[in-house]
Structure formats: C-alpha cells, structure tokens
C-alpha cells in the first residue's frame, strides 16, 4: 500500500498526523504500508512556488492512494489565481482523473444531538452523495473576464458535460446504489440548463442497465430544501460538480459537524484521493482543537475502496464509534456532559480503541 501523504495547509498537518498514527498501528499489525510526504496548496507554493509542484504530481501518480489534509490560508488569498492553493486541489483531481467523489453523510447515534436539526429528522441518516469531480463549470473553457462591444466588462464561465463524463459517473452511482438500498436520485437543473437536460437524458439511459435500482430525478433547488426537510428519503444522490459541492456541505450539517465527514475521489481503477470534506480552517490552525475524525474516517474509506480491505475499514470505523461512545469530543461536536479533548488526544483515543 503505497500512500502519498499531502498534509497541505491550516489544520491539514495536525489532522493528517492523527490519521498517520492510525496507519502506523495498521502497519504494526502487518499491513505493508509505505508513506511518502509531499507538499500541496499553499505549502506547495511556499516550498516550490506552485500549489501542485511537479514532485508532488510525480509522487501522486506513482502511489496507490493519496491522503490529503486540506488547502488554503489567508496569506494566499491575494495570489494570482494559478498560484492559489485551491488550484492544487483542482489540478490533482483532474491530473489523476478522479472523477467520482464519494461524500457519505451519516449520523452516528452518539451525535444526533450535535446536529442543528431535530434528532427525529436526522437520526439513522445514511446518505451517499456522489459528486462528479473533474468536469462541469469547474473546468469548462472558455472562462475569464472580457470586455463587451459596448465597453462593459463581463465575468464568465462555461458549464458543460461530455456524454462519456456523465455515463461513467452514472455507472459508478448505480453500482454504489446496488450495494446499498437500490435508490438513486439524480440532481440537476433540467428546467433551466441545457447541460442538465442532457445529464438527465444520459443518466436515464444508463439506468436501463440497472433495472433493480429505483432512479428518480430532482431539481437542485428542491434537493437543497428536501435535504433539510426530510433527508432520510435519500439513499444515493448523484450530481454534477458544482451542485455536489454545495449539497455536500449542506448534507454535512445534518450529521452534526463537517468535522466528521470523510471523502473518497476515485478514478476508473479505484485509485483514490482521500480527504476530509472540510477545509483548512486557518482560524483554528495550530491550536490542537481541530477534529481529526473526518481524516481518520477517510483512511477507512481508503482501505475499503482502493485496497479492498472492508475488514480494516470496519475496524477503523468501530474504533471511532467506540471513542464517541466513551464520550470524547472535540469542540465542534461537544455537548454538555461530554469530555472535551484536543486533536492529538482524539487521535490517541482512536489508536487506543483500535
């Protein structure tokens, strides 16, 4: 298991250090794990003048999986766009062909009271959001700022999806649904956007190969509402890049904290990049208060999807559950009567539970 470790910026290094503790335990138990570190995001810019340095790309291409912390920081906000940390993230996704982004939103029974939504709305929730990750308005050309004939300036981007892009992610969605409750809701804006009308047509066509899966379609505005009104109606949500970006942040709050949500970004061979859904949180960086559980759960996803070791994934998930049952909480999921601990202590607690 050759894993590239890219801690990145902000809280990235602290949370990744906790996930590495978990990997060290697994190695001690006999898994052949090799770790190699590289820079990405602002850390890449500082070290090599590029948010996705060539050395990082080379390492990522040569590895089976990538473990990433987070990118971004105030000090990089004024850099020209190609040098911004987010570009490192977008380039590694595109460069490795990681088109299928799995963002599970599940509510641990121990945390139902941590959600801002009523517990009867969220308890037992288990949704998988599948976000297309290498197409859409994120990567569409042309884009930029131009001057119109009348002299007015205009900012513009291009939304488009190729048929092959929609087909391959739809197949992944149906395959995931087959392993779950066989329900998939494809989210689009087909009442307004041609790209979405086309998306819907292709998804409907791919569905013919999966007669057991109940496919539905929903407009993204309605989906945003339904996610907070009655989220348990969903099993798998399949959607494009920008809608998935927005809906996955929304779904994270159903679970109590975005600090709990792992993610996997897979290519067509299940090589993957694993990262927490949350960002670099520069305001709390270096204070040892960040929640490392999303990153640790991302290692569980890595074991499940890239290394096909569902047993190891379950072991990590069980350890996280145990720590929550023990009443240990970082600040983001803290409630009265529980024990508030820091990032490193949370990592140690998971290691002990393992």
Under the rule (CB under 6 A), what is the footprint of ligand IPM?
86, 89-90, 245
Cβ(342)–Cβ(288) below 8 Å: yes
**Residue 55 interface partner, choices Mg ion, ligand IPM, none, CB cut-off 5-8 Å depending on type:** none
**280/329 with CB nearer ligand IPM:** 280
Pairwise CA distance, residues 39 & 68, whole Å: 10
We find the least distance from the C-beta atom of residue 341 to ligand IPM, in angstroms, to be: 27
Stretch that binds Mg ion, among 108-116, 132-140, 161-169, 245-253 (CB under 5 A): 245-253
**Cα end-to-end distance, the chain, whole Å:** 19
Considering CB distances under 5 to 8 angstroms, the limit depending on partner class, which of ligand IPM, Mg ion, none binds residue 126?
Answer: none
Q: Which is nearer to Mg ion, 172 or 277 (CB)?
A: 277
Q: Burial, 230: exposed, middle or buried (Cβ in 10 Å; 0-12, 13-18, 19+)?
A: exposed
Q: How far is the CB of 289 from ligand IPM (least distance, A)?
A: 21
351 binds, among ligand IPM, Mg ion, none (CB under 5 to 8 A by kind): none
Q: How many CB atoms lie within 10 A of CB 14?
A: 24
The option from ligand IPM, Mg ion, none interacting with 284 (CB < 5 to 8 A, set by class) reads none
Spatial separation of the C-alpha atoms in residues 19 and 166, rounded to whole Å: 33
Which residue(s) pair with 2 in the sheet?
A: 34
Whose structure tokens read 């119109």? 148
> Could you please report the per-residue DSSP string of 277-338?
SS---GGGTTTT-S--HHHHHHHHHHHHHTS--HHHHHHHHHHHHHHHHTTEE-GGG--TTS
> Please, what is the minimum distance in Å from the beta carbon of residue 89 to ligand IPM?
5
Task: Answer yes or no whether residue 245 interacts with Mg ion by CB under 5 A.
Answer: yes
Residue 344 contact, options Mg ion, ligand IPM, none, Cβ 5-8 Å cut-off depending on partner type: none
β-bridge mates for residue 236, sequence order: 128, 184
Plot region of 191 (φ>0 → left; ψ -120 to 50 → alpha; else → beta): alpha
Catalytic residues: 138, 189, 221, 245, 249
Question: Among all residues, whose Cβ is closest to Mg ion?
Answer: 245
Of the candidate spans 109-117, 155-163, 178-186, 243-251, the one that interacts with Mg ion by CB under 5 A turns out to be 243-251
Q: Residue 86: which of Mg ion, ligand IPM, none does it interact with, CB under 5 to 8 A by kind?
A: ligand IPM
Angle at 123 between CA 255 and CA 243, to 5 degrees: 45
Tell me how many residues contact Mg ion (CB under 5 A): 1
**From 167-175, 211-219, 238-246, 325-333, span contacting Mg ion (CB under 5 A):** 238-246
Q: What is the DSSP letter of 77?
A: T
Shortest Å distance, C-beta 274 to ligand IPM? 12
Contacts of 28 (CB under 8 A, 6+ apart): none
Closer CB to Mg ion, residue 63 or residue 239? 239
| DSSP-assigned beta bridge partners for residue 146 | 154
Of 45-53, 145-153, 237-245, 339-347, the segment contacting Mg ion by CB under 5 A is: 237-245
Q: State in angstroms the smallest separation of the CB of 65 from Mg ion.
A: 21
Site string for Mg ion, 97-126 (x = CB under 5 A): ------------------------------
- Under DSSP, the state recorded for 270 is S
Q: Do 294 and 261 form a contact (C-beta atoms < 8 A)?
A: yes
User: For tokens 């500082």, what's the residue?
Assistant: 46
- Nearer to ligand IPM by Cβ, of 249 and 288: the residue is 249
Smallest gap, in angstroms, from Cβ of residue 276 to Mg ion? 11
Q: Where along the sequence are the contacts to Mg ion (CB under 5 A)?
A: 245
């Amino acid at each position: 298991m050759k894993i590239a470790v890219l801690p990145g910026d902000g809280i990235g290094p602290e949370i990744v250090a906790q996930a590495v503790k978990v990997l060290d335990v697994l190695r001690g138990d006999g898994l052949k794990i090799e770790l190699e570190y590289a820079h990405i995001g602002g850390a890449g810019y500082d070290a090599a003048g590029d948010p996705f340095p060539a050395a990082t790309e080379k390492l990522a291409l040569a590895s089976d999986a990538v473990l990433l912390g987070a990118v971004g920081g105030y000090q990089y906000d004024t850099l020209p766009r190609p040098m911004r940390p987010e570009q490192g993230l977008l380039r590694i996704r595109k460069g490795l062909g990681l088109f299928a982004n799995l963002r599970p939103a599940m509510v641990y029974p121990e945390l139902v009271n941590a959600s801002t939504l009523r517990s009867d709305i969220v308890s037992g929730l288990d949704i998988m959001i599948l976000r297309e990750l290498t197409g859409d308005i994120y990567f569409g050309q042309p884009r930029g700022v131009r001057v119109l004939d009348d002299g007015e300036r205009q900012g513009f981007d291009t939304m488009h999806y190729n048929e092959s892009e929609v087909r391959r992610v739809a197949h992944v969605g149906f395959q995931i649904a087959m392993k779950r409750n066989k329900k998939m809701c494809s989210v689009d804006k087909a009442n307004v956007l041609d790209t979405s009308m086309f998306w819907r047509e292709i998804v409907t066509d791919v569905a013919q190969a999966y007669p057991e899966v109940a496919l539905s379609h929903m407009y993204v505005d309605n989906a945003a509402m339904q996610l907070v009104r009655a989220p348990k109606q969903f099993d798998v949500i399949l959607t494009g890049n920008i809608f998935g970006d927005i809906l996955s942040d929304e779904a994270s709050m159903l679970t109590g904290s975005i600090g709990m949500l792992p993610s996997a970004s897979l290519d067509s061979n299940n090589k993957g990049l694993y990262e927490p859904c949350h960002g670099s949180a520069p305001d709390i960086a270096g204070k040892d208060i960040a929640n490392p559980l999303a990153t640790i759960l991302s290692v569980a996803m890595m074991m499940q999807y890239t290394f096909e070791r569902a047993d190891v994934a379950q072991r990590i998930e069980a350890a996280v559950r145990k720590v929550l049952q023990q009443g240990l909480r970082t600040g983001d999921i803290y409630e009265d009567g529980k024990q508030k601990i820091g990032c490193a202590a949370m990592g140690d607690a998971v290691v002990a539970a393992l």
